[in-house]
Every structure is written in structure tokens, then in C-alpha cells.
């Protein structure tokens, strides 16, 4: 190993190939749809992606983390930009939450992921850091802007807005088909807007 002033210097590894990463995530989504969360294995995912199991382990330390990232889009999730129109912005968030939750891979994986979160809180802490905290912050900023423009009540609880949207959309996704999704989104948006504007 090369040294500098007698100190070992670790050689830089080969950078990760984002194309390969996405191929593995795509394979994970396909496998979890076909087999369900509990029966999905890294061996099956690796075979579907055309890679070795160690290749997956170099990127994700467990099946749980790979499935979580693949179905919840933790590394590819783009936060919507606010428009200044409170109802339109809340509608965008409702549709976004529902769209992610309604994806076949998410519907197949979320019950298993939720069970894993209940068994090991550290799993949820990772999701909290990579996924939930940035979204909560974006919604909090949206509400703060709405308060400044008089579109929201001064005491509006932005975290409650997040919880209402997430809870309603994920429950809908797990218990219904996508029939009537537009009407559902409109009704939930109206309900959230009334909560946000209530003095």
C-alpha cells in the first residue's frame, strides 16, 4: 500500500456506477412485486440485475435498506418547489405522496418495511434522516410562507400537516386501487387546507 511520511494511504476505490445502482434498484422493485417483501432475497435480486451478491452489499448493507431506497425513492426523490398558491402546493404534495405509495413495489414492500421498523427503531431512524426530515422541512417552509402571506393561520402545525397527508395517502394506497385517486386527492387537499387556514 502506498505511504506518505510513513503513513499508509488507502488507494481510492472505483467510483460507484449510477447505472448499475439503478439496475439493482429496478431489479429489487420487480422482485418485491413478484415475491413480496418477506420472500424477496438478495440472491434473487442479484440474479435479476445480473450482478453478484457482494456487488449489492458494497452498496447496501441489507435487503431492508435496498428495498427501502428502491421503493421509497430516497436517493431520487425531488421536492416540489412552492408556487405561492397554498392550495395548489398542498395538492401537489398530496398527489406526490399518493403516487409514491400507490406504486406496485411500494404496496408490496411497505407492510414488511413497517414491521421491520417496529422490530428495530434504528431502521426507522435511517428513513427519518434520509427521507422524512427533508420532506417535513419542505412542508414546514411551505406553511411558514403561507403564514407570511396570510394564507395560513399563525399557529398552524406543519408537522401535523405532514402526518395528515402521509397517513391518509399511505392508508389509501394500501387499501384501495387507483380508481378515484383524483377525487381522493381533491378531498384530502380540501380537508388539509381547512386545517391550515383555521384560526
Whether residue 175 is found in the same domain as residue 110: yes
In angstroms, the Cα distances linking 195 to 148, 153, 173 are 17, 9, 22
Question: What confidence tier does 7 reach under pLDDT thresholds 50, 70, 90?
Answer: very low
| pTM attached to this predicted model | 0.81
Average pLDDT over residues 139-166: 94
Residue 111's closest CA among 42, 47, 39? 39
Domain annotation covers residue 179: yes
Whether residue 37 is found in the same domain as residue 109: no
Is 9 in a helix, a strand, or coil? coil
Question: What confidence tier does 79 reach under pLDDT thresholds 50, 70, 90?
Answer: confident
Domain annotation covers residue 2: no
Q: Give residue-wise pLDDT tens across range 97-147.
A: 999 999 999 999 999 988 888 888 777 777 777 778 889 999 999 999 999
User: How far is 190 from 197, CA to CA, in rounded Å?
Assistant: 11
Question: In 50-180, which ranges are continuous DSSP H helix?
Answer: 53-57, 63-72, 86-102, 104-119, 121-127, 133-148, 158-175
Whether residue 161 is found in the same domain as residue 131: yes
Amino acid at each position: 500500500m502506498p505511504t506518505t511520511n510513513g503513513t499508509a494511504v488507502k488507494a481510492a476505490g472505483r467510483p460507484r456506477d449510477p447505472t448499475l445502482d439503478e439496475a439493482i434498484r429496478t431489479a429489487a422493485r420487480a422482485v418485491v412485486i413478484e415475491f413480496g417483501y418477506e420472500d424477496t432475497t438478495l440472491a434473487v435480486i442479484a440474479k435479476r440485475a445480473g450482478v453478484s451478491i457482494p456487488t449489492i452489499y458494497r452498496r447496501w448493507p441489507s435487503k431492508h435498506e435496498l428495498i427501502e431506497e428502491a421503493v421509497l425513492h430516497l436517493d431520487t426523490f425531488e421536492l416540489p418547489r412552492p408556487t405561492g398558491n397554498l392550495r395548489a402546493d398542498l395538492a401537489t404534495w398530496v398527489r406526490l405522496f399518493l403516487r409514491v405509495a400507490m406504486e406496485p413495489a411500494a404496496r408490496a414492500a411497505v407492510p414488511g418495511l413497517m414491521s421491520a421498523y417496529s422490530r428495530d427503531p434504528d431502521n426507522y431512524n435511517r428513513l427519518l434522516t434520509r427521507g422524512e426530515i427533508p420532506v417535513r422541512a419542505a412542508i414546514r417552509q411551505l406553511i411558514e410562507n403561507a403564514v407570511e402571506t396570510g394564507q395560513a393561520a399563525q399557529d398552524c402545525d406543519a408537522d401535523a400537516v405532514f402526518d395528515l397527508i402521509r397517513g391518509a395517502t399511505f392508508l389509501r394506497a394500501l387499501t384501495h386501487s387507483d380508481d378515484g385517486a383524483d377525487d381522493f386527492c381533491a378531498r384530502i387537499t380540501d380537508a388539509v387546507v381547512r386545517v391550515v387556514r383555521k384560526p
